[in-house]
Amino acid sequence: MAQSPETESAPPSRFPSLELCYDLAREQIVAQTNRLSTLDTKASFVLGSASILTTAALNLRSALVSSHVLIPLLSILVVLGALAYVVVVLFAFFAYTLRPWKWTPQLSELKHDYIFREREYTMGTMLSNMTEVFNQNERTLLDKARWTKVAVLALLVEAALVALMAAVQIALPLPPTH
């Protein structure tokens, strides 16, 4: 009895784990891209939080100016808070703009160079390319993570300055009402 095409056994592969390795590499690239998105979200949170803190600091300063109780310490804190804001924005900007992100495979490359190649050859070449691109992107991701971490630390400094401003305002006696 002749075997149908579905039941014919395919010739043994020279690379029995190639498909598994390829699938695992794809999963790693997806996870890496998700980490990139997470870092962008954190940088966005830092920018928004820094803006809110700066607004709060300016409102605290305005309240003190309107009550004629502006003290030199508060002026110094306002300047330091503004500088901290600039630093936060700068570091968050660096976190956002680190993007020499590589992608593989290129669709045009697949269409023109690999469409008529053997499946194992294409998968092996793509696995090699994916590994190289993953390693390049990992360096970019680590730089992005460092800038995001520094931006978060700068945000904490800004938050401490705003908290100190609020404490100074609370500690000051209210001006006499006439």
Q: What is the pLDDT of residues 62-120, one digit of tens each?
A: 666 555 555 677 778 778 888 988 999 999 888 888 677 888 877 787 778 888 888 88
Residue 178's Cβ-side half-sphere holds a number of Cα atoms within 13 Å equal to 1
pLDDT band at residue 131 under the 50/70/90 scheme: very high
- Distance from C-alpha of 62 to C-alpha of 140, rounded to nearest angstrom: 42
Average pLDDT, the chain: 82
Global pTM reads 0.72
pLDDT tens digit sequence for 7-26: 556 566 787 888 888 899 89
Q: What is the pLDDT of residue 90?
A: 92
- Helix segments in 5-17, DSSP class H: none
CA nearest to 84, candidates 142, 163, 27, 173: 163
Least confident of 37-51, 70-84, 156-170: 70-84
pLDDT band at residue 57 under the 50/70/90 scheme: confident
